[in-house]
């Protein structure tokens, strides 16, 4: 297999790349990284000393590609498929990159702050940091609600890299910091994402690991069913 993705099925940033791979039915081998296993962790650090997942290794070119947005762009450049996740038009491309970064930084990263704080030792909790993360999510939700009033996907009518980024952030955000009842455009957008076949595949593969999620008790029952509805 030419492509190998170092990942974990529960990791939200890995979901972003998996969606991109599944959208175009790109062949790859997945290697689950277990940071508690010395050999598994060493295999990752050997290729990317920062130690963050996912990373993509391309045996055909010898390239190791880190960072989710760069991985998706690499896939489109070297392993293109029928779904163009980055448009050719320069202005449209800027919007995709903008909303890709928006969902990564202002949704997904904020969720991770909240989640990781729950599993810290009691004397190392950061209530101020968690409050800041929740406030940022509130602001992000307001912006998404306004932005999605007349849009099908993150930047218009086409499913793009920005939507790959939106799903994992919004999926976990809806659990740890639920949307308000007035945020109908935001809620409807997440529902459309959940019906996407590539997204369903990613979440079904993640389900066996949901018991490891620190907010497992807050997950809606339908997220735990055999098929996400």
- pLDDT in the model for residue 44: 93
204 near 180, Cβ under 8 Å? no
- pLDDT in the model for residue 47: 92
- pLDDT in the model for residue 224: 84
- If 0-12 CB within 10 Å is exposed, 13-18 middle and 19+ buried, where does residue 146 land? exposed
CA dist 114 → 109, 121, 128, 136, 224 (Å): 9, 14, 11, 11, 21
98 near 86, Cβ under 8 Å? no
Tell me which architecture the domain covering 3-78 has in CATH: 3-Layer(aba) Sandwich (3.40)
Task: Give the domain ranges of the chain.
Answer: 3-78, 90-224
* CATH class of the domain comprising 90-224: mainly alpha
pLDDT 10s per residue in the chain (229 long)? 699 999 999 999 999 999 999 999 999 999 999 999 899 999 999 999 999 999 999 999 999 999 999 999 999 999 999 999 999 999 999 999 999 999 999 999 999 999 999 999 989 999 999 999 999 999 999 999 999 999 999 999 999 999 999 999 999 999 999 999 999 999 999 999 999 999 999 999 999 999 999 999 999 988 887 666 6
pLDDT, mean over the chain: 95
- pLDDT in the model for residue 208: 94
- pLDDT in the model for residue 222: 87
Distance CA 188, CA 192 (A): 6
- pLDDT in the model for residue 227: 60
Span 104-149, pLDDT tens digits: 999 999 999 999 999 999 899 999 999 999 999 999 999 999 999 9
- pLDDT in the model for residue 1: 67
For the residues of the chain, what is the DSSP string, one character each? --EEEEE-TT-HHHHHHHHHHHHTT---EEEE--TTSHHHHHHHHHH-TT--S-EEEETTTTEEEESHHHHHHHHHHHS--SS-SS-SSHHHHHHHHHHHHHIIIIIIHHHHHHHHHHTS-GGG--HHHHHHHHHHHHHHHHHHHHHGGG-SBTTBSS--HHHHHHHHHHHHHHHHSPPPTT-HHHHHHHHHHHTSHHHHHHHHHHGGGGGGSTTGGGS-GGGGSSS--
Q: Apex CA 41: angle with CA 52 and CA 201, to 5°?
A: 65
CA dist 12 → 8, 77, 92, 124, 198 (Å): 9, 23, 25, 24, 14
């Amino acid at each position: 297999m030419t492509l190998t993705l170092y990942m974990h099925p529960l990791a939200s940033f890995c979901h972003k790349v998996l969606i991109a791979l599944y959208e175009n039915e790109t062949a790859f081998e997945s290697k689950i990284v277990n940071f508690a296993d010395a050999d598994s962790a060493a295999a990752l650090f050997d290729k990317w000393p920062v130690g963050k997942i996912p990373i993509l290794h391309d045996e055909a070119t010898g390239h190791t590609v880190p960072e989710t947005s760069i991985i998706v762009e690499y896939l489109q450049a070297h392993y293109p498929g029928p779904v163009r996740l980055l448009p050719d038009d320069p202005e449209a491309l800027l919007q995709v990159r903008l909303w890709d970064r928006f969902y990564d930084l202002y949704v997904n990263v904020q969720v991770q702050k909240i989640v990781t704080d729950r599993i810290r030792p009691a004397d190392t909790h950061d209530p101020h940091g968690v409050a800041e993360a929740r406030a940022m999510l509130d602001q992000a939700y307001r912006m998404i609600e306004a932005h999605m009033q007349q849009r099908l996907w993150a930047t218009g009518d086409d499913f793009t890299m920005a939507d790959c980024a939106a799903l994992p952030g919004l999926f976990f955000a809806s659990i740890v910091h639920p949307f308000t009842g007035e945020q109908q455009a935001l809620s409807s957008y997440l529902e459309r994402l959940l019906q996407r076949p590539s997204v369903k595949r990613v979440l079904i593969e993640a389900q066996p690991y949901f018991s490891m999620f620190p907010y497992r008790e807050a997950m809606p029952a339908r997220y735990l069913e055999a098929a996400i509805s």
